[in-house]
Each structure stands twice: as C-alpha cells, then as structure tokens.
C-alpha cells in the first residue's frame, strides 16, 4: 500500500471571471521512502495540488477528490482538527522562499521548538536539545548561538536549512518540498538537495519534490510525474523518463535542456504558452502546441497504460516518434 | 539601543524650543490681555495698568520677554498663574492625574476593543461582520466629539439616568488625593460606594474620548492583518498544524501589531487634544478644561506653560512608543 494515495484530485478557484481549474483530475501515489518529483512549468498546478493536500489553500479554492489517503487514513472524511495533528507531524512542507517563510518576529529556536511543542510531549529543555540536534543535522554551524537568531540575520540558504530542520523535527513520513532551491544561489542549491536526500535516507522519509528544473529531477528523483495545465500527462521512473519519454510535452521539455541540445544554433523551445482560464482547448490541452496533434486530439485525449508511462496522449511516442506513425506538423501559434 | 535612545532624546530639545516659541507667540496673538480681563467691566486706571504691566514684565519687548521665560523654564520655573497666583507647574500636577486617568482608560478601551475588532474584520473579510465593524468604525471616526458626548449624556444620564452628568465623583464622598487617580484613591479611602461612584463618572467620558482612537486602531489593525495573513510565514505556521487561534493570534497578530503600535502612539496626541473637548463637556477637572479656561482668561503663563508641558508629555509618549517598537520588531533592534 502506498504512503500517499490521491485519485482524481481537482482544485478550482472562484475568480471574478468565473471558476478556474488549477488542478484537473490528478492522480498521485507516493510510496514510503520514495522520492517523487512533480515537474511542470509555472501554472501547471503542481504546487496547488500539494497545498490542497496540506489544507493550505485559501477559502476561494474548492478541493474535490475520489480518494485522498495517507498512511491508511482517509483525509477526506477527517475533521480539520484531526488533520492538523497529522499536518506538520507526519506530512511536512517546505517552500520556495525560505527568507519569507520564517516569521520575522520570532527566533529560530522558538520556531523549531513550537513544532516540537505542538506534536511531541518533549519538555522545554528536551525541546531545546532536540532543536540543536536538528540544526546540527541540517548543517547549521554553531547551532547553540543560532537558536536565538532572528530570520533576518540568516542568509537564504541558512533559512532554508532552518525550514528543513523545522519540518523534519517530528520525523515526518512524507516531506513535500515546493521548489526548495529556486530562490537560492546555484552553489547552495546543490547543498540543499544533497541535504534533502541524506535526510530522507536517514529519517526514512518519502519526498515529493516539486520543481521545474529537469537537472534537479535527474539528480534526485526515483519517479517522475509530469504535469501540464493542471493535468498529469506522464509518469515514469526517472531512468525511463529521460531515456524514452512517451508524451510529446515531456519529450519537448527534455529536448529544451541545454545539455541535450546538439549542434549549433538556437536552443529548441516549445512554441506557444500554457492555456489559461479562457483559452483551454476542448480536447488535449497540449494540442495547440504539439507537433504530432491530429484532428482526434481536438476532441479528446486518451490515457495510455503503464507501459506507455500513463501518458495522456492519443499518439504516444516510442523512442522519439509516435508509435502509430503520425507525422510531425508545422505549428503556427 | 542606548545610542538610539540618546539620539531620540537629543532630538527632543529643538522640538521643545520650537513648541515654546509657538506657545509664547500664540497666546499673545489673541486680542485682549489678562489685566484688562481681570479688571472687568469697570475698566482700569491707566497708571495702575502700566504698573501692573511692569510687574508682570509685559512692558519689555517680546524677544526679551521670551528669553526671560525660556531661562525660567530651564530652571524648572514655568511661571505663576496671573489669575490664581499659583505656580503653573503645581496646577498642572494637581490636574494632570485626572486627564491621565481619563486618557489611560480611553486608550485601554480603544486598544482592547479596537484590536480584536480589526482582527475579526480581517479574518472574516467581506462578510457582514467585516462590513459592520468597518461601517461602525467609519461612523465613530466621523462623529464630532462634542455632539457624540452630548448625545450620550442626554440618553444615559438624562433619559435612563444610569450615569452622572459631570465631575469625577459624587459630592458626598471626600478623601484626600493620594495618587491623584480617582479610581485608586476611592478604593484606598475604604468608603463604601466611592469606587462605584468614581467608575460611573468615568464611563461616559471614557467612551467619548475613546471613540476616534478606537475607530482608527480597528481600521489600522484590519489592514495590517489583511496584509500579514497573505504572508508566507503565516502559511508556514498553518503547515505546522497549529490551530487557527495560534496562527492568527500569535504568528499573524505579532507582525500586524508593528504598525498598530505606531498608530496607538500617534493617537496619544489626538487623545490629549480630544480631552480638551471631552473634559469641557463633562466638566472633568483635568488639564483640557484648565487650558480652555485659561485661554478665555488670557492667562499667558498658564497657556504657554500648559502647552509646553502637554507637548512634553506627547514627546515622551512618542519616545516610549519608539522604544516599544524596537522591542516588538526585532529587525529594528538589531
């Protein structure tokens, strides 16, 4: 049984101009100790799906799902109160902007200690000792002194380490990292990713890593889920995804990587933009930007089986070309 | 922190001198002078008038008068009332506790009601609750104080007869002032009913004086909370599984209070200005009423001394607010 199981998750926001579907029927499974990466460009609903799981969306969002189960517990029927005893303790989350994610009015020690106070029975001195231990574990130098530091006295990398120490403090079974390195310097990025991977191994933690960086995916993930415009378009193990992407969107993403670009000239790019609230195509959402789209794609897209990476595509690719022999077309946007 | 304190303290000196010039000039711009007003309808013999002017030092040129005045103040002498012949500082010290008592009660009421009302309005943004709170605040802010005071007196003192119309305590009680605060003194006196009487005298003036600061604090708290509630650290607090009470009451409010504290500090000036009207309406024997009476009698030394002392109090309160601000906002402290 998987640690986290979500089926047909849909999140829509009430906006002035009508409802907007940010997440559209997404399935998601995470096994214990697994690192799952959710990839997609901005607006593909990857963060929103995880915020919905955590119950962190504003009131304007309505969340529905057929199944939302964590560690055998049904999150859909659970009261808010019971859910709050799981959130933070068993499922923890870190965010994109470490500097603004810590409360500027409280010391680092207070903010880590608060998490322990909420979810454990540790006493005051034990909490302090545990906080120091955690800060050591995430590589913060002289943790005793840092306990009384305020967030504005820390760098971005240090703040993210504090966030990681805080979220790992109750030894959660699942950690969700929402673009944890996007706001950091490149040199710090690698350190933070290493730290996350080590902590997962040490604490037997599963990790959902939300990112738009394929390099991060290759370095970290066991399994990858690709999202486009709120839908899951493909899901494969990381090796298979990089060697043989089945959805044309995944293939286009991979070929846009500078490392993969062969020859001189312009880097390949995907023409057009992600559809918004008002220009959602009726069939396959990627159809207007897809080189292999045909007339059937304008009415619907079929979900393929696991052998084709669950690709949401009528003409899935095998070894870089549609298996059914569909010819590439010129795209005009 | 000490350096910060000392620079702020140093800034008080030029401000104080500025206020003293304004206070000195302002009262002399008014037509009439204290001697003429004291003489009354029968008038005064010109020779006697000149003699009195000389005795009060009013015959000297204005700049000389001002510098004499300033040098007296440096030695702690704020002059003597022309009307009562008592030192200005003594009168101020006798009356000031009454004003402080009223102002303190008003600011406490405004804070205790204003902050929760603002928080509630922000959390329930866009609901009827939010609209009710903000609508009431707008009405409170826009109402003329004297009209509001009279309205309350007519209703609660006149029609319902729940509260007395004026004064600090019923005339049947007498006890020597110990602290100057009627609520505390009445308790210390041990006379039964004295505290109740003092409290019932205090209720209406407190409400009237608190109305505008309450409205301002509620509106400021609401907008500060709305801003803070959208911050990342509030989401972090919720992601920790903390109950909403703690997320809003600790993580959000602590940050929202930073601008609110500044507002409360600024309201102290408004309070002392409002006290002038409120004290006059309720015949509250504080410095507000004292100042108004002195202006009518052209009691030069009282008006300029009183203004200076009130300005001093406001400056000290602002300094305290600045220090408090550093205490609540770690980004300023370090």
Residues B288 and B172 sit within 8 Å (Cβ to Cβ): no
DSSP H helical segments within B124-252, as ranges?
128-142, 145-152, 182-189, 194-229, 232-239, 244-246
A115 within some domain = yes
- Interface check B254 vs A, CB under 8 A: yes
Residue with tokens 């109305």: B211
A271 within some domain = no
**Contact list, A56 vs chain B (CB under 8 Å):** 235, 238-239
How far is Cα B284 from Cα B96, in angstroms, rounded to an integer?
Answer: 11
Q: How far is CA B70 from the centre of its chain?
A: 25
Give me the percent of chain B exceeding a pLDDT of 90: 33
Tokens of B265: 């500090």
A142 within some domain = yes
User: What is the DSSP secondary-structure string of B58-106?
Assistant: TTS-HHHHHHHHHHHHHTT---B-TTT-SBHHHHHHHHHHHHHHHHHHH
Nearest to B198 by CA among B177, B179, B182, B178: B182
**Contact list, A152 vs chain B (CB under 8 Å):** 330-331, 334
Tens of pLDDT along B11-39? 888 988 898 898 888 888 877 777 777 77
How far is Cα B24 from Cα B300, in angstroms, rounded to an integer?
Answer: 8
Nearest CA in chain A to B235: A56
Task: Based on the fold, state whether residues A157 and A187 are members of the same structural domain.
Answer: yes
Cα distances (angstroms) measured from residue A204 to each of A9, A36, A197, A199, B194:
26, 14, 10, 8, 70
Higher pLDDT, B156 or B187: B156
Task: Based on the fold, state whether residues A11 and A107 are members of the same structural domain.
Answer: yes
Coil/strand/helix, residue B152: helix
User: What is the DSSP secondary-structure string of B3-64?
Assistant: HHHHHHHHHHHHHHHHHHHHHHHHHHHSSS-HHHHHHGGG---HHHHHHHHHHHTTTS-HHH
Cβ burial of B2 (10 Å; 0-12, 13-18, 19+) is: exposed
pLDDT of residue B334 exceeding 60:
no
Tokens of A29: 């499974």
A179 within some domain = yes
Q: Give, to the nearest 10 degrees, the angle between helix B253-281 and helix B300-328.
A: 160
Task: Based on the fold, state whether residues A253 and A141 are members of the same structural domain.
Answer: no
Q: How many domains does chain A have?
A: 2
Which distant-in-sequence residues (6+ apart) come within 8 Å of A204 by Cβ?
Answer: A32, A33, A173
Per DSSP (E only), the strands in A179-314 are 206-211, 223-228, 231-237
- Considering chain B, what is the average pLDDT of its residues? 87
Q: What is the pLDDT of residue B267?
A: 86
Report the 10 Å Cβ neighbour count for A328: 12
Task: Indicate the residue of B238, B240, B331 with minimum beta-carbon distance to A104.
Answer: B331
Cβ burial of B67 (10 Å; 0-12, 13-18, 19+) is: exposed
How far is Cα B82 from Cα B38, in angstroms, rounded to an integer?
Answer: 9
Task: Based on the fold, state whether residues A84 and A203 are members of the same structural domain.
Answer: yes
Q: Is there a contact between B233 and A102 if contact means CB atoms under 8 Å apart?
A: yes
Tokens of A243: 């060697």
Task: Based on the fold, state whether residues A146 and A18 are members of the same structural domain.
Answer: yes
A135 within some domain = yes
The minimum CA-CA distance between B102 and chain A, rounded to whole Å, is 33
Tell me the backbone φ, ψ of residue A8, rounded to 5 degrees: 55, 50
Looking up residue A89, the CATH number of its domain turns out to be 3.40.50.300
Nearest to A151 by CA among A92, A195, A109, A88: A109
Residues B34 and B82 sit within 8 Å (Cβ to Cβ): yes
Tell me the backbone φ, ψ of residue A93, rounded to 5 degrees: -140, 140
Coil/strand/helix, residue B193: coil
Residue with tokens 């409400």: B207
Residues B299 and B83 sit within 8 Å (Cβ to Cβ): yes
Q: Is there a contact between B254 and A88 if contact means CB atoms under 8 Å apart?
A: no
A270 within some domain = no
Residue with tokens 């703040």: A159
For residue B157, give the DSSP letter: I
Q: How many residues are present in chain B?
A: 334
- Using pLDDT thresholds of 50, 70 and 90, give the confidence band for residue B333: low
Task: Based on the fold, state whether residues A304 and A211 are members of the same structural domain.
Answer: no
Tokens of A74: 């049904």
The minimum CA-CA distance between B331 and chain A, rounded to whole Å, is 7
Which distant-in-sequence residues (6+ apart) come within 8 Å of A190 by Cβ?
Answer: none
Task: Based on the fold, state whether residues A73 and A147 are members of the same structural domain.
Answer: yes
Alpha-carbon Rg of chain A, whole angstroms?
21
- For B88-333, CATH gives 1.10.3720.10
Which of A86, A101, A150 has the most B C-beta neighbours within 10 Å, making it the best mutation to test the interface with B? A101
Cα distances (angstroms) measured from residue A133 to each of A333, B151, B210, B268:
55, 64, 50, 47
Task: Based on the fold, state whether residues A40 and A174 are members of the same structural domain.
Answer: yes
Domain ranges in chain B are 88-333
Mean pLDDT of B110-139: 95
A233 within some domain = no
Q: Is there a contact between A105 and B330 if contact means CB atoms under 8 Å apart?
A: yes
Range of the structural domain that residue A308 is part of:
244-260+280-333
- Interface check B143 vs A, CB under 8 A: no
Task: Based on the fold, state whether residues A170 and A255 are members of the same structural domain.
Answer: no
ipTM of the complex model = 0.90
Tokens of A87: 């959130």
For residue A106, give the DSSP letter: S
- Interface check A87 vs B, CB under 8 A: yes
How far is Cα A149 from Cα A142, in angstroms, rounded to an integer?
Answer: 11
Instruction: For chain A, 333 residues long, give each residue's pLDDT as a single digit of tens.
Output: 789 999 999 999 988 888 889 999 999 999 999 999 999 888 888 999 999 999 999 888 999 999 999 999 999 999 999 999 999 999 999 999 999 999 999 999 999 999 999 999 999 999 999 999 999 999 999 999 999 999 999 999 999 999 999 999 999 999 999 999 988 888 899 999 999 999 999 999 999 999 988 889 999 999 999 999 999 999 999 999 999 999 999 998 888 888 777 767 778 888 888 888 888 898 999 999 999 999 999 999 999 999 999 999 999 999 988 988 888 888 776
A69 within some domain = yes
How far is Cα B180 from Cα B165, in angstroms, rounded to an integer?
Answer: 21
Task: Based on the fold, state whether residues A212 and A303 are members of the same structural domain.
Answer: no
Mean pLDDT of B251-268: 90
- Using pLDDT thresholds of 50, 70 and 90, give the confidence band for residue B152: very high
């Amino acid at each position: 049984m998987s640690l986290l199981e979500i089926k047909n998750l849909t999140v829509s926001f009430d906006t002035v101009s009508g409802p907007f579907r940010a997440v559209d029927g997404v399935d998601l499974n995470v096994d214990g100790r697994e690192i799952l990466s959710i990839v997609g460009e901005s607006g593909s609903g990857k963060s929103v799906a995880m915020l919905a799981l955590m119950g962190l969306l504003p009131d304007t969002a309505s969340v529905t799902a057929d199944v939302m189960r964590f560690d055998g517990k049904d999150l859909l029927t659970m009261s808010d109160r019971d859910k709050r005893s799981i959130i933070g303790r068993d499922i923890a989350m870190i965010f994109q902007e470490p500097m603004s994610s810590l409360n500027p009015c409280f010391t680092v020690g207070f903010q880590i200690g608060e998490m322990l106070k909420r979810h454990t029975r540790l006493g005051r001195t034990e909490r302090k000792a545990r906080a120091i231990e955690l800060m050591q574990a995430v590589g913060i130098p002289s943790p005793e002194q840092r306990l009384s530091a305020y967030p504005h006295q820390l760098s971005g990398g240090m703040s993210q380490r504090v966030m990681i120490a805080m979220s790992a403090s109750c030894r959660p079974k699942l950690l969700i990292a929402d673009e944890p390195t996007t706001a950091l310097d490149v040199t710090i990025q690698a350190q933070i990713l290493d730290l996350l991977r080590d902590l997962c191994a040490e604490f037997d933690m599963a990790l959902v890593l939300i990112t738009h960086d394929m390099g991060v995916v290759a370095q970290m993930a066991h399994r990858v889920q690709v999202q486009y415009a709120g839908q899951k378009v493909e899901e494969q193990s990381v090796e298979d995804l990089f060697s043989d992407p089945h959805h044309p969107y995944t293939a286009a993403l991979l070929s846009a990587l500078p490392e993969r670009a062969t020859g001189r000239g312009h880097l390949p790019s995907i023409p057009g933009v992600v559809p918004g609230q008002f220009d959602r195509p009726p069939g396959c959402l990627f159809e207007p930007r897809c080189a292999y789209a045909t007339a059937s794609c304008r009415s619907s897209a079929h979900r393929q089986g696991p052998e084709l990476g669950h690709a949401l595509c009528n003409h899935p690719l095998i070894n870089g070309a549609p298996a059914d022999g569909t010819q590439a077309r010129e795209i005009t946007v | 922190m000490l350096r910060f304190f000392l620079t702020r303290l140093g800034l008080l000196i030029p401000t104080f001198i500025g206020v003293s010039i304004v206070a000195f000039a302002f009262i002399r711009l008014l037509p009439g002078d204290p001697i003429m007003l004291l003489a009354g309808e029968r008038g005064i013999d010109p020779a006697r008038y000149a003699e009195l002017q000389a005795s009060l030092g009013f015959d000297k040129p204005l700049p000389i008068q001002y510098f004499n005045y300033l040098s007296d103040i440096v030695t702690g002498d704020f002059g003597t009332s022309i009307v009562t012949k008592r030192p200005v500082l003594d009168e101020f010290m006798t009356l000031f506790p009454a004003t402080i008592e009223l102002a303190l009660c008003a600011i406490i009421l405004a804070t205790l009601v204003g902050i929760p009302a603002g928080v509630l309005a922000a959390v329930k943004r866009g609901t009827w609750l939010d609209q009710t709170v903000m609508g009431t605040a707008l009405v409170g802010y826009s109402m003329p104080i004297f009209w509001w005071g009279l309205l309350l007196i007519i209703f609660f003192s006149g029609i319902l007869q729940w509260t007395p119309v004026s004064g600090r305590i019923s005339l049947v009680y007498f006890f020597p002032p110990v602290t100057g605060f009627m609520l505390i003194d009445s308790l210390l006196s041990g006379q039964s009913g004295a505290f109740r009487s003092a409290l019932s005298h205090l209720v209406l003036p407190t409400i009237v004086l608190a109305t505008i600061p309450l409205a301002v604090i509620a509106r400021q708290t609401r907008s500060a909370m709305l801003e803070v509630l959208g911050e990342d650290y509030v989401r972090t607090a919720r992601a920790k599984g903390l109950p909403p009470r703690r997320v809003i009451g600790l993580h959000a409010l602590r940050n929202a209070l930073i601008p609110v504290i500044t507002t409360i500090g600024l309201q102290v000036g408004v309070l002392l200005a409002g006290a002038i009207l409120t004290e006059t309406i309720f015949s509250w024997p504080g410095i507000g009423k004292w100042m108004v009476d002195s202006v009518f009698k052209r009691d030069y030394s009282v008006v300029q001394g009183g203004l200076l002392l009130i300005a001093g109090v406001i400056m000290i309160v602002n300094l305290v607010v600045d220090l408090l601000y550093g205490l609540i906002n770690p980004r300023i402290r370090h």
